Structure formats: C-alpha cells, structure tokens
Structure 1
Amino acid sequence: MKSTLLALAFAASSQAALRFGCSSISIQRLDPLVEPGRIPSAHVHQIVGGNSFNATMGSGANNDIADRATCTSCFFSEDFSNYWTAVLYFKARNGTFKRVPIKANSALEGSTDGMTIYYTQKDFNSNGNAKITAFPPGFRMTVGSPTTTEKSDVVNGLSYTCLQNINTRGSETQEFPTKPCPAGIMAIHHFPACWDGKNLDSPDHQSHMYSTTKKGTFVEAGPCPASHPVRMPQLAYETIWDTTKFNDKSQWPADGSQPFVWSMGDRTGYATHGDYVFGWKGDSLQKAMDSSCMFQACGNGKPLLSQNAAAINNCKVKSTINEDTEGWLTSLPGAM
C-alpha cells in the first residue's frame, strides 16, 4: 500500500467495498471457534461485533448467530458477525505486564476502540468480471496461528505498521516494530477469499479457504484455483494498539529489544492470528457486494442499515471469567 486507503477509496470506477469500525464488546479468555466450550480459553482475546458471542456458539448452516444477537458494536447494524484477535501487552523491564489500549482508526463513525473491518472485492478499483459471493450462515474461518515461531511460516496478509501518524500506510513488517512508534502499532489481518464452495468450516478452520492475498495489499495475487473456485469478499482487520504510552525506552528491556508481547506469549509478532464467525442479517452483505457503494457511504439504507455512536459503544458482552486482564500483572492471563 503506497498511499492511504482513503485515497484509494476515491479512485475512478470503484465497486463496492466496506470499511467500518466496531467497538470492543469484550476482552476476555474465550475462543468459541478454536476452543469451543472451554472456559477460560488459553489466552485473552479482544472481540467485536454481535452480542451472541459466547463460549459455545455452535456450528452448521442452521446456526445463524444473527438470529440470536440483539445488538452489535459495528457501524452497520445488520452485521452481527464476530471478529477477534489476540490482545497486545507491554512487558516492562521489571517483568510485569500491562494491556496496551486500543484506539479507533481515522475517518470512522462511532467506534472508540476495537477494530476497523474491511470487506473488499477484487481491489479498490474494480471487482473484475467475477461474482463476489457473500459468506453464508454458519461460515467460520481463521488466519494465522498462535503457535507460529518462524518468519518463513507467516502467511501473506499478516503484518504490522509502525504508525508515524494515524494515516500511515506501507512499510509493513511481519515482526513487531523494533523502535518506538510515534502513533502506535497497527496490526493487520487479511483473510483468504477463495472458498471451496462446500464446507462452512474445516477441522483446522482454514483448509476450506485459499488465499490469493499479496503481501501487504488489498489486491488479489491471482484467480481462485479449481479446488477453491468461489470468490468471496476479501475480509481484513486493522487494530491500532496505542503503544505511545509505553515509548519510554527506560522501561524497555535492558538489551534494547522491543517490549511488546501477544497474550499467548509471542514476542516476535509471528504468531498473530484472527478469527471470524459470519453473522450478517439475511442477504444484507450480498446486497452490499452487489452494489457500487464505498465504505461508510453504504450506510443509511444505501443499501445497508447503520447506527449511531451510542448504539455502537453500548453493545457489550459480560465477562464469564473472573480474572484480571487490566492493570500491572505479574504474568499473562493463562500463563502456566
């Protein structure tokens, strides 16, 4: 990405693309996709979207979470999907940990923290000649792995930007930035967009999908293969971690190494990962992909319904786990 996404949004002949904010509904140790029913899960997640999120969300085509949710923390009020990632912590020189706060991205309505969500087509200039098929009810997937330890194993589309300002784009790395970032660290998750057309999920939550994502871009690298022939929206997350509160290098490790760690204990950044459970109401997402609207201009019934800041930020899920994830901690939640 050599220029900002906002600039790309106004390129000529654009087809539909959604860019919107979702506030956090919960920060706790639950993972109904990878660890269904386990309370608590192995590590802390930050979750946005619909309030039907819980430890056992079910699966299958008849499992439509949009029917169970009563609110969503996303700008588009018909989106009851759930989106989640690991949580970033700062490890001080004295060995204690503190959760890094999240801040909203630029040019978004309503959300105060959480994530920026994208559903794009071929790229920001065209959807080509291919039909973009919305995810069906019961669809789920993940990208990345919390056990990745080698840079060579990091999949395309997972990266970090050391923000010089809120609109910095480009210069992405697959590992955590090694110097203090003036405006925070943006973690980026691009999901695969080619579906096998049959399975709503797979045992590893990834094999039913195929990625044509180029490194660091919203542009597909090539056509979908015969094994995964159905082109779906390119789903992506951006999370801005406000690391500016921890830019005092006197608190960093004595050896000068970077001090940030994912909630599962990864200090390299290679183990970043994201989870997704589809939950759009009815055919609303398909209507958006069939339209020519861009970003939040797709709201107010054109063609999607949207909601105000109060509704976005009032939707929450009560924590089911009684443990501290805030303040200065002697160990990461769940650490043995």
Structure 2
Amino acid sequence: MKHGSMVALSALAGSAAAFKYNDALTFSVMQFTGTEIRKARDDPIVNFGQTSSHVHQIMGGSGFSRTSTGADLLKSECTNARVAGDMSNYWFPAMFFKDPVTGQLESVPISYVNVYYHMDKTTDTIKAFPAGLSILVGDPTRRTAPEGGYTTNLDPSQGPVGNVRWTCPRSSYEPPSWPLDSDGTNAGMGEGNNGIGFPFMDCDGYASPLRGDIHFPSCYKPDVGLTDYKNNMAYPTSDGNGNLNCAKGEIHVPRMLLEVYFETSSVVPGKGFQDRWDHSTGKGPQPFLLSNGDTTGYGWHADFMAGWDEDVLQNIIDNCDVRHEGTHTCPGVTPNTATCTIKTLVDEDVDGPFSKLPGNNLLTGYGDKVQNGGGSSPSASSSASSAPSSSSSVSSVAPSSAAPSSAAPSSAPSSSSSSSQDFPYYPTKVVQNDAKPATTFEVVKSSSAVQDQPKIAAVDVVVQTVWHTVTVTADHSAESSEAAHVRRHVHGHRGNRHL
C-alpha cells in the first residue's frame, strides 16, 4: 500500500541529485496527531506473543499487536503519525507518580511525542528502514549509572555512548537539576537541563515538562537480521573529516531521536504534579518512576519496529530538510490528520491510582538488581511458538545474575493456572472471548489540520463498534494556534542537543 504521491515522487526524483545530505546534517521532525494508540503490557520485540512485564505507551500504526511483524504494520488501517506513509510503531514505558502522602501510584500523562529523523553528513548512501526492522535502545534492568556517567557522545570510537538521557527545562537552575557532586550512586548526573537519571527538581519550563530522550543507532547489520534487536544495530563513527559512516557491510539508515514529554509539571490549573511534592532543595527524593518499577530513571528505554512505506521515507531522506516544520510538510508527502487508537486484549487498569504497578513490578532504586525489566517473568502464551525463528525477542533481557529471591512479592499471583496463563499479573481481568479476538480500531478524523505539537482536547466520541471494522467520528478539537506557537517557541533547541 503506497501512501505517498507517486506523481510527486517522480517529479522530485529528477532534482534529487541537487539535494546533498552528504554535505551537511539534514533533518525533519515526525509529529503525531495525539498521544498513544494503545497503553498496555505489550512488546512484540522483547516479548513476542506474551504479556510484557510492564506497561508501554505505543505510537504509530494500528497494525501493532503482541505478534506484529513488519508485514502487519504495513497493513495498518490507521496511524497517528502525521505522515500517512509511516505505519511504524514507537513504544516506551509509562511513567507514574507516587503520592508522598498516600503512597498511591498515578499515571503521568504524555504531553506530546516527537521523533527527529536525522540524515547525518556522511559519505554513505542513507537508505529507508526495511519493514520489520526491530530496535531496542536502553536497558530496562539498569539501576546504576551507565559506564562513563553522563555524556552526550554518540560516536563509539570516542568513548562510551550516551544514548539515554533526560531533559528538564526550568525557569531557574538554582539549585541545579541534578546534585553537582553526584557520582550516579544515589542520584542522577547532569548539567543544565540534560542528564541521566531522574532530576531532583520540578521541570517547570513552560510547555516543556520532564522529557525522556532516546538516541537510536543508525547502522543496520543485514547479516544479523531484522529481528535480532540485541545485535542488529550500531552507531556510526567519524572518519575524521566530519562524516559519520557505518562499517563495511552495514546499511546506513536515518538516525532517530525519540522525545517523550511527560506532563510532570503544568501551568494549567489542575494538571501536573508540581504542587504535590517538595522539590525546593534539589536533594531528592523525587516521586516519579517508570512502569518497570524503576525509581532512578536509569532504566529508561524505547523500542521501534519499522513499518514505513519505503518509497515515502526514501523521498524524505533524499529531498527533505524542513527541520522543525515537521516531516508532514516535506515535498511529496501526504500529511495525516486523523487520530488512531486500537483496543487491548486485556481489561487492565494501567492508570491507577493503585498500590501496586501492573505486572506486580517492585519499586527498585539505585544499585538494585532486577530482571525482565523489573517484573515477574512473563509466561509464554500459546502463540509464542509462532515467533520468527531468527528472533531472540522471546529471550529475557535480564542480566545473567538473577535478582535476590526476596525480590519476588509473596502475594504475586501464581501463573500455573491455565485459565489465566497469558495474563498472570496484578491487577488484570481477562476479557472472556470464545476465540482470540481480531484487533478492533477506532479512528477519529479531524475536520481541520492538526496544530503543531498537538495536545488533543477532550472528545465526545460516539462509536458504533462492528467486529474488525474501522469506525469514524466527525471531529475533534485541536489546541489553539497560540498554544501551538508557545510550544514551537519553547521547543527551539540550543547548540547541538539533537546532533
């Protein structure tokens, strides 16, 4: 299914020779028409056919499922990417707030998500992602500072790579966001508004709350394969002349930067959590944690499975340098203005308030050893055997040393019952269906263009559900042009933060 205009692409092909990403960095920002299409314990890369140990928020195409492949994504009936040809999926752990008074856990909403598509200055030819390419960046089990501490380096020839970061824009950096004397043992490390591990201060930069950044590698190893997410990617290295090149035999693909803005702080009355914890001293502790139980922020991570119309993406690579204007404004690209959601297989409370995380994930802090991203080992479902033979995605991401036996909660439900084998975690209720349900979709189409950095207002959706049928409603509200302008202004980046 080709979503781009073939006529437009053909017209651009003749001028492609004049466009040289090889001469300098070019980039454009993929934006989305809303927040997640699904929020659930699903992860087809690491836990193919299984229940994931922790909750993820998923962006992109409706072809996503626990057993999705690149071919499934290309059949998506809708996407919330603002480029119609991007049916890829991008997912990351949800964030929670632990109330200092009640101890209850509450979901932290997403403000918005961006994905920067960088085409580096290189002597390589940059190619579109092959459908099904699976990438995981970050370690869900990490509770200690990474080797090298805080660094912005992405060139492995220059030392440890700092590909997982947090950004905390603030109105004042006195006291600093991360303790200046931190060695990473009991607090994160950073300077200014960038660091590793959660900051100990409120991120009150207007319209720019706490942000999780993931810098993806851009050298694909075809001999390793699409689904071996542990070994199939590498970061390019400098040739000494300002070019970032991949090794021989590797395919240079776009370099992505995923930005997730969590609504930890807000100027909107009744939103944000800034008035519910003491951040006056900057000495911690802070109340935010990830769905894998990580209270440090070191276990921040993200996944990507490619589902691009390769002609559309190749056109963007070869012909587009619109930068912050958005990839949907690239020449020859068909913008997408529809929102998109997909239903889950399990009726599970993933927002709270509750006393335990979904998946019974223990809250773990600095120096703790964890496995499987923080939760109990998922039990294999009957569909797990259908995982691609070349994939290691059903293997645990745990380190070889297991967590202490005391890490397992005594009240954890048993997974031995066949009736609940696929959904053994608290607080899950199994949806009773006679057969494995087909995915159902709810598509909301906008009557007007979606504003930059959209924050979709509440929608009164009247949906008539027909099994495996797309349903459409008339309208939704986009944020005001003034609010969009503020987001664009605040989002302006200084220096080489995105490089």
TM-score, structure 1 as length reference: 0.79
**1:77 aligned onto 2:84:** yes
Per mean C-alpha deviation after superposition, the further-off stretch among 268-277 and 317-326 is 317-326
Contact 2:293/2:357, CA 8 A, preserved across alignment: yes
Structure 1 counterpart of 2:333, one-letter code: L
Distance 1:213 1:81 in 2: 26
CA 1:162 to 1:298, structure 2 compared with 1: closer, same or farther past 3 Å?
Answer: closer
Aligned with residue 123 of structure 2, among 103, 114, 129: 129
3-state secondary structure, aligned to 1:322? strand
Aligned with residue 229 of structure 1, among 250, 259, 264: 250
Per mean C-alpha deviation after superposition, the further-off stretch among 74-83 and 89-98 is 89-98
CA positional deviation for 1:297: 5.5
3-state secondary structure, aligned to 1:276? strand
The alignment covers a number of residue pairs equal to 290
CA positional deviation for 1:198: 2.8
Distance 2:37 2:193 in 1: 31
Aligned with residue 30 of structure 1, among 42, 47, 62: 42
Distance 1:250 1:297 in 2: 36
Percent of counterpart pairs with the same letter? 30
CA positional deviation for 1:330: 1.1
Residue 209 (structure 1) aligns with:
233
Contact 2:118/2:256, CA 8 A, preserved across alignment: yes
Distance 1:15 1:324 in 2: 43
CA 1:190 to 1:297, structure 2 compared with 1: closer, same or farther past 3 Å?
Answer: closer
3-state secondary structure, aligned to 1:299? helix
Contact 1:97/1:329, CA 8 A, preserved across alignment: yes
Residue 372 (structure 2) aligns with:
none
Contact 2:122/2:243, CA 8 A, preserved across alignment: no
**1:304 aligned onto 2:328:** no
Residue 30 (structure 2) aligns with:
20
Structure 2 counterpart of 1:247, one-letter code: Q
Residue 322 (structure 1) aligns with:
347
CA 1:250 to 1:50, structure 2 compared with 1: closer, same or farther past 3 Å?
Answer: closer
**1:120 aligned onto 2:118:** yes
Structure 2 counterpart of 1:136, one-letter code: P
Distance 2:237 2:92 in 1: 19
Per mean C-alpha deviation after superposition, the further-off stretch among 68-77 and 13-22 is 13-22
Residue 47 (structure 1) aligns with:
58
CA 1:332 to 1:297, structure 2 compared with 1: closer, same or farther past 3 Å?
Answer: closer
Distance 1:302 1:180 in 2: 40
CA 1:320 to 1:202, structure 2 compared with 1: closer, same or farther past 3 Å?
Answer: closer
Contact 2:133/2:227, CA 8 A, preserved across alignment: no
Aligned with residue 100 of structure 1, among 84, 88, 108: 108
Tell me how large the CA RMSD over aligned residues is: 2.6
Q: State which structure, 1 or 2, has the greater radius of gyration over its C-alpha atoms.
A: 2
Structure 1 gaps of 5+ residues are 1-12, 105-114, 215-219
Structure 1 counterpart of 2:99, one-letter code: A
TM-score, structure 2 as length reference: 0.54
**1:178 aligned onto 2:200:** yes
Distance 1:279 1:170 in 2: 36
Structure 2 gaps of 5+ residues are 1-22, 150-160, 172-190, 266-271, 361-411, 413-499
Contact 2:31/2:327, CA 8 A, preserved across alignment: no
Distance 2:65 2:244 in 1: 37
**1:283 aligned onto 2:311:** yes
CA 1:212 to 1:247, structure 2 compared with 1: closer, same or farther past 3 Å?
Answer: farther
CA 1:67 to 1:222, structure 2 compared with 1: closer, same or farther past 3 Å?
Answer: closer
Structure 2 counterpart of 1:129, one-letter code: T
CA positional deviation for 1:140: 1.0
Residue 8 (structure 1) aligns with:
none
Q: 1 or 2 for the larger relative contact order (CA 8 Å, sep ≥6)?
A: 1
Structure 2 counterpart of 1:239, one-letter code: V
CA positional deviation for 1:249: 5.0
CA positional deviation for 1:223: 3.1
CA positional deviation for 1:292: 3.5
CA 1:213 to 1:30, structure 2 compared with 1: closer, same or farther past 3 Å?
Answer: farther
3-state secondary structure, aligned to 1:246? coil
3-state secondary structure, aligned to 2:286? coil
3-state secondary structure, aligned to 1:243? coil
Residue 159 (structure 1) aligns with:
165
